[in-house]
Amino acid sequence: MFKPTYVFDKVGEITPDFLAKKHIKGLLLDLDNTLTTHNNPIPPQSSLDWLAKMKAAGIKLMIVSNNHAPRVKPFAEQLELDFVPEGKKPLTFGYTKL
C-alpha cells in the first residue's frame, strides 16, 4: 500500500520552497478534491495558478486518478499533464505503471 509522507489540507499549500527543502522534484496529483471539485471538468483558477508556479519551479507533475480515462484525459490535456487513469489508489497499481 502506498502511504504519503506529507499531508496537506489543500494542494495550494505545497510550495516550491517546501519541495526544494525536502529534495522533492516531482508530484503525483489526484484529480477530484485535489485539483478540482468532484466531477468538475474545469480547473479553478487557484489550481491553474498553483500548477504554473510548480512548472516554473521545474517540478514534474503527473495526475494519478482512480477515475476512468474519459474523465481524466480531457482535464489532464487542459493542464498539459501526463496522467494515469484507474490508478486503484491506495494500492500501488497506478504508481507502478509509471
Residue with cell 507533475: 61
| Average pLDDT value for the chain | 88
Q: How many helices (H) and strands (E) does the chain have?
A: 4, 3
pTM of the model: 0.86
Measured over the CA atoms of residue 98, residue 69, residue 32 and residue 93, the dihedral's sign is: negative
Interatomic CA distance for residues 24 and 59, integer angstroms: 8
Q: What pLDDT, on the 0 to 100 scale, is given for residue 98? A: 57
Is residue 1 predicted with pLDDT exceeding 70? no
Q: What pLDDT, on the 0 to 100 scale, is given for residue 77? A: 94
Q: What are 65's three cell numbers? A: 486518478
Interatomic CA distance for residues 29 and 67, integer angstroms: 13
Q: What are 59's three cell numbers? A: 517540478
Condensed to tens digits (0 to 9), the pLDDT of residues 3-58 reads 778 889 999 999 999 999 999 999 999 988 899 888 888 889 999 999 999 999 99
